[in-house]
């Protein structure tokens, strides 16, 4: 078996132990995912299991797809369907669609996105007479989410939580769940919660799945939350053939309810589990591994492991300070190009092999701007997603209506987009009619029209809209219809495309492009429903294409991935570790940040570059930054400190003596003090004095800190004196791109708008 020859003895043992529980607990890059994949191959190759008897849970859809491809390659034949390979969410959807009625839903239920969820919560909050400004919907959403992560239905929320959301949390949670049922909808957390509840209430159904899914494999086990854990345990208790792999040092989703304790509980739940430890790292060079190990060693309460690599030597981890975030982006852009051309010595490194991993997504903007300027192709993974753009969401609402005409949230979103002469009153009348007769908004509209309850121009247009939805829905039911043609027809007949064609704002052409792109995306799916499901579930922008691109993503999104060259910018106190983790009284948050640093460094194979800036513009305000405390934890023997660029006179980027891309090696030491004392850093500080900046974060009170941060985030509703209501579409320093309901998109300075109370 060639796939077994590629493994070391410990990995092979984990692959061969097919029956019974196995826990593989090992550090980054030790081949856990590789062993897991080989196990699947072994199950199939030995005929122990058919593809549909293997449940394999990965962290992202992308990881699932890659695993499938790898299995096929290792088997040397294409695998016909591995229906149960995916994320917890995608597998749950499959199960839930089959038994929707037992969860009080229909099988064509809709999966809500965050926007829909917030809109719904807002309605409930307002109806409950609560001041949404003091008690924002986002807060309630967070509370409900955390309960769902613990698998608590409204009835199961313990009384200790009674004070949540100003004592109204439990009550609103219950109402929210009821609303979702009437809407025939689920939010993300529900997907798991419903399945767990269903399994608990219907042992016969659970038994069926336990019979079918004979082998269970789970990657990134350290990041499972309680609901996921219960889900797994229920399914695994049939055959007990469960293999989980993970690394406690890479647990980075505590803030989303993940519990490292699940790893420790494994041996209790599955007595006699075989525990496999892997110690050889195959990914990174010695210096990179040592730097990562040095940082993580500062965490208390680790299970602790030894890691070693045969890849001795190589380049040390590089550390460099910059004047500000823009300069950091410029330097990294130049470095990436130099690596790509191979002009900094060594083999050229393609763009696909380079990645920038940031702590906070607002850091991405500086890189995107710079790369657009110099024409460096990049992809943002898990960033502001294509599917979150206004026009895409509108179009999708139309598609949702076509698939399920009783999708009220979709109806609300588009009934008057484009404008159909339906004022607030008409829309309220539709709502009331629907509520009184307990039917969907579409039916409500139909009834209202029949009763002559809508006057003026609106009546004719609403009638056309209702007829349109009927027509589109009928088409979705036709065998063999082309869903692509249908999508085009919907956008055409609804007047939605025409609306943007008539729009004179500079954004309109881009929006029309995006709509075309959307129709193109449909080609990969069998029908609209499949497509809508996909979009609801994707956790990242996964479009792969032929052009080589450098990847930009958050550290969280980088889990499990590897790149020959990795850039880790923004290592500054307050950014990384985050201000919140530093303000916390305990060390929990800080330790999670440190694990994130460990994840970041261990993504690198050959070259790892850590950087920080002396000044950074955060939400429009300049702030002085201090280098991250994690920099102090880097073992000096494995780090090179580079001189900040642009200090040698002449044009930026001119090669400095003995260096590459503008940086040069000055000392083989890496503590913060060394950085401060280096001539380059002092020069940097001198330059700092030329521009007034606020005090470093540490010496400022948290009150000022809060005030410095603009209170708007993307998607917020705002009000402007002249342009009226709108939503924040993008934030750029202190300027906001606002999509006004009536006036189109405009760039406005943040202090000229206020949060809307609609
Ligand atoms: P992470 O904790 O980051 O998810 P991991 O433990 O899952 O890491 P893998 O991604 O499976 O590690 O493997 C890391 C790299 O090492 C991959 O490029 C993989 O192909 C390689 N590798 C794993 N095992 C071996 C082996 N026995 N021989 C050679 N290369 C290996
Ligand atoms: Mg892995």
The predicted pLDDT at position 666 comes to 34
Catalytic residues: 32-33, 219-220, 250, 603
Phi/psi zone of residue 232: left (φ > 0), alpha (ψ -120 to 50 degrees), beta? Answer: alpha
The predicted pLDDT at position 424 comes to 85
The predicted pLDDT at position 539 comes to 36
Beta bridge partners of 737: 730, 747
Q: What stretches of 350-441 adopt beta strand conformation (E)?
A: 354-358, 378-381
Cβ pair 448, 429 in contact under 8 A: yes
What is the dihedral sign for C-alpha 118, 120, 126, 130?
negative
What is the dihedral sign for C-alpha 274, 277, 282, 284?
positive
Name the residue of 8, 41, 283, 562 to mutate for ligand 1: max ligand atoms within 8 A of Cβ: 283
User: Using alpha carbons only, what angle is made at residue 144 by residues 179 and 583, rounded to the nearest 5 degrees?
Assistant: 150
The predicted pLDDT at position 657 comes to 31
Q: Which residue's alpha carbon is nearest to atom 21 within ligand 1?
A: 282
Distances (CA, A) of 546 to 351, 352, 432: 12, 10, 52
Cα 33 to ligand 1 centre (Å) = 7
Any known ligand binding at 468?
Answer: no
Terminal-to-terminal C-alpha distance of the chain:
66
The predicted pLDDT at position 758 comes to 55
Q: Which residue's alpha carbon is nearest to atom 4 within ligand 1?
A: 560
Spell out the domain ranges in the chain: 2-94+194-278, 110-183, 311-382+545-699, 387-537, 717-755
Higher pLDDT residue, 305 or 595?
A: 595
Distance from C-alpha of 179 to C-alpha of 166, rounded to nearest angstrom: 21
pLDDT(119) > 90: no
Query: Average pLDDT in the 117-127 region?
Result: 90
Cβ neighbours of residue 167 under 8 Å, at least 6 residues apart? none
The DSSP code sequence of 606-635 is: EEEEEEEEEEEEETTEEEE--B-HHHHTS-
The predicted pLDDT at position 618 comes to 66
Helix (H, G, I), strand (E, B) or coil at 607: strand
Ligand 1, CB cutoff 6 Å, lining residues = 6-8, 11, 28-34, 247, 250, 282-283, 560, 562, 602
Cβ neighbours of residue 671 under 8 Å, at least 6 residues apart? 631, 632, 636
- Other residues' Cβ atoms within 10 Å of the Cβ of residue 623: 22
CATH classification for the domain delimited by 311-382+545-699, as one of 3.40.50.300, 3.40.50.2000, 3.90.1200.10, 3.40.50.880:
3.40.50.300
- Other residues' Cβ atoms within 10 Å of the Cβ of residue 150: 20
Please tell me what DSSP assigns to residue 644.
P
Distances (CA, A) of 221 to 33, 188, 553: 11, 19, 22
Name the residue of 31, 243, 246 to mutate for ligand 1: max ligand atoms within 8 A of Cβ: 31
What is the CATH T-level fold of the domain 110-183, as seen in this structure? Arc Repressor Mutant, subunit A (1.10.10)
Query: Average pLDDT in the 611-630 region?
Result: 83
The CATH-assigned architecture of domain 2-94+194-278 is: 3-Layer(aba) Sandwich (3.40)
Higher pLDDT residue, 742 or 498?
A: 498
Distance from C-alpha of 518 to C-alpha of 424, rounded to nearest angstrom: 30
The predicted pLDDT at position 708 comes to 27
Atom of ligand 1 nearest to the CA of 37: 11
The predicted pLDDT at position 467 comes to 97
Q: Which of the four pLDDT bands, split at 50, 70 and 90, describes residue 749?
A: confident
Q: Which of the four pLDDT bands, split at 50, 70 and 90, describes residue 546?
A: low
Q: Which of the four pLDDT bands, split at 50, 70 and 90, describes residue 185?
A: very high
pLDDT(293) > 90: yes
Q: Which residue's alpha carbon is nearest to atom 31 within ligand 1?
A: 282
pLDDT(622) > 90: no
Q: Looking up tokens 């078996």, which residue turns up? A: 1
Cβ neighbours of residue 568 under 8 Å, at least 6 residues apart? 356, 357, 600, 601, 608, 609, 610, 611
Higher pLDDT residue, 390 or 439?
A: 439
Q: Which residue's alpha carbon is nearest to atom 11 within ligand 1?
A: 31
Name the residue of 7, 13, 33, 596 to mutate for ligand 1: max ligand atoms within 8 A of Cβ: 33
Q: Which of the four pLDDT bands, split at 50, 70 and 90, describes residue 382?
A: low
ipTM of the complex: 0.99
Q: Which of the four pLDDT bands, split at 50, 70 and 90, describes residue 718?
A: confident
Higher pLDDT residue, 733 or 109?
A: 109
pLDDT(700) > 60: no
Ligand nearest to the CA of 3: 1
Atom of ligand 1 nearest to the CA of 561: 3
Distance from C-alpha of 123 to C-alpha of 184, rounded to nearest angstrom: 17
Distances (CA, A) of 233 to 520, 603, 681: 40, 30, 54
pLDDT(586) > 80: yes
Instruction: Look over the chain and give the mean of its residue pLDDT values, rounded to a whole number.
Output: 84
pLDDT(147) > 90: yes
Instruction: Indicate the burial class of 224 (C-beta count within 10 angstroms; 0-12, 13-18, 19 or more).
Output: buried
Atom of ligand 1 nearest to the CA of 602: 3
Tokens representing residue 454 in the block: 């809508």
Distance from C-alpha of 405 to C-alpha of 476, rounded to nearest angstrom: 11
pLDDT(150) > 50: yes
The predicted pLDDT at position 679 comes to 52
Query: Average pLDDT in the 497-524 region?
Result: 82
The predicted pLDDT at position 645 comes to 57
The predicted pLDDT at position 387 comes to 65
The predicted pLDDT at position 323 comes to 87
The predicted pLDDT at position 668 comes to 32
Cα 432 to ligand 2 centre (Å) = 52
Residue 716 C-beta-side C-alpha neighbours within 13 Å: 21
Query: Average pLDDT in the 571-594 region?
Result: 92
Please tell me what DSSP assigns to residue 525.
S
Q: Which of the four pLDDT bands, split at 50, 70 and 90, describes residue 692?
A: very low
The predicted pLDDT at position 388 comes to 64
**What pLDDT digit, counting tens, does each position of 254-271 carry?**
877 777 778 878 888 888
Provide the CATH number for the domain formed by 387-537 in this structure.
Answer: 1.10.486.10
């Amino acid at each position: 078996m060639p796939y077994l020859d590629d493994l070391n003895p410990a990995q092979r043992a984990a692959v061969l132990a097919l029956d019974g529980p196995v826990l593989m607990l090992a550090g980054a890059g030790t081949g856990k995912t590789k062993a897991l994949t080989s196990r699947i191959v072994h199950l199939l190759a030995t005929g122990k299991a058919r593809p549909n008897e293997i449940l394999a849970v990965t962290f992202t859809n992308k990881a699932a797809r890659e695993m499938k491809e790898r299995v096929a390659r290792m088997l040397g034949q294409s695998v016909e369907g591995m229906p149960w390979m995916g994320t917890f969410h995608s597998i749950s959807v499959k199960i839930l669609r089959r038994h929707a009625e037992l969860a009080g839903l229909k099988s064509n239920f809709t999966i809500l996105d965050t926007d829909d969820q917030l809109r719904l919560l807002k309605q409930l909050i307002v109806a409950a007479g609560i001041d949404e400004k003091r008690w924002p919907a986002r807060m309630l959403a967070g509370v409900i989410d955390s309960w769902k992560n613990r698998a608590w239905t409204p009835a199961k929320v313990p009384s200790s939580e009674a004070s949540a959301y100003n004592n109204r949390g439990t009550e609103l949670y219950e109402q929210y769940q009821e609303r979702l049922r009437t809407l025939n909808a689920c939010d993300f957390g529900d997907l798991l919660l419903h399945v767990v509840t269903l399994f608990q209430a219907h042992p016969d159904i659970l038994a069926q799945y336990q019979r079918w899914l004979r082998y269970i494999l789970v990657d990134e086990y350290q990041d499972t939350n309680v609901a996921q854990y219960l889900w797994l345990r229920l399914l695994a208790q049939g055959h007990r053939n469960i293999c989980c792999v993970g690394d406690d040092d890479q647990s980075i989703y505590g803030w989303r309810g993940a519990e490292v304790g699940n790893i420790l509980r494994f041996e209790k739940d599955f007595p006699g589990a075989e525990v496999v430890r892997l110690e050889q790292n195959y990914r990174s060079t010695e210096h990179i591994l040592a730097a990562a190990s040095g940082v993580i060693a500062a965490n208390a309460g680790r299970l602790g492991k030894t890691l070693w690599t045969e890849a001795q030597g190589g380049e040390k981890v590089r550390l460099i300070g910059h004047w500000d975030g823009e300069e950091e982006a410029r330097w990294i852009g130049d470095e990436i190009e130099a690596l790509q051309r191979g002009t900094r010595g060594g083999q050229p490194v393609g763009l696909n092999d380079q990645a920038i991993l940031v702590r906070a997504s607002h850091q991405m903007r500086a890189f995107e701007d710079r790369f657009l300027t110099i024409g460096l192709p990049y992809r943002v993974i898990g960033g502001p997603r294509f599917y979150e753009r206004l026009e895409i969401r509108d179009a999708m609402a139309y598609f949702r209506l076509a698939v399920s005409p009783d999708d009220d949230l979709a109806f609300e979103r588009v009934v008057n987009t484009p404008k159909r002469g339906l004022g607030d009153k008409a829309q309220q009348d539709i709502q009331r009619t629907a509520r009184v007769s307990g039917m969907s908004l579409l039916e409500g509209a139909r009834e209202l029209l029949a009763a002559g309850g809508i006057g003026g121009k609106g009546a004719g247009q609403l009638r056309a809209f209702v007829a349109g939805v009927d027509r589109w829905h009928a088409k979705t039911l036709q065998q063999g219809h082309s869903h692509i043609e249908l999508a085009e027809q919907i956008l055409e007949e609804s007047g939605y495309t025409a609306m943007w064609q008539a729009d004179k704002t500079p954004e309109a052409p881009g929006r029309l492009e995006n709509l075309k792109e959307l129709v193109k995306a449909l080609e990969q799916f069998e029908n609209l429903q499949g497509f809508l499901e996909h979009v609801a579930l994707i956790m990242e922008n996964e479009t792969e294409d032929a052009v080589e691109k450098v990847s930009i993503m958050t550290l969280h999104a980088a889990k499990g991935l590897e790149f020959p060259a990795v850039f880790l910018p923004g290592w500054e106190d307050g950014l990384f570790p985050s201000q919140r983790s530093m303000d916390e009284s305990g060390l929990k948050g800080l330790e999670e940040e440190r694990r994130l640093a460990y994840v970041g460094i261990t993504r690198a194979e050959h070259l790892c570059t850590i950087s920080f800036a002396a000044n950074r513009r955060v939400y429009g305000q300049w702030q002085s930054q201090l280098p991250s405390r994690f920099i102090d934890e880097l073992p000096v023997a494995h780090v090179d400190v580079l001189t900040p660029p642009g200090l040698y006179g002449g044009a930026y980027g001119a090669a400095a003596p003995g260096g590459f891309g503008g940086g040069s090696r000055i000392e083989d030491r890496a503590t913060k003090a060394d950085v401060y004392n280096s001539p380059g850093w002092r020069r940097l500080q001198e330059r700092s004095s030329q521009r007034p900046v606020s005090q470093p974060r540490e010496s400022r009170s948290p009150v000022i800190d809060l005030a410095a941060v603009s209170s708007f985030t993307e998607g917020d509703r705002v009000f402007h004196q002249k342009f009226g209501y709108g939503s924040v579409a993008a934030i750029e320093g202190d300027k906001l791109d606002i999509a006004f309901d009536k006036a189109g998109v405009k760039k406005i300075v943040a202090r000229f708008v206020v949060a809307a109370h609609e």
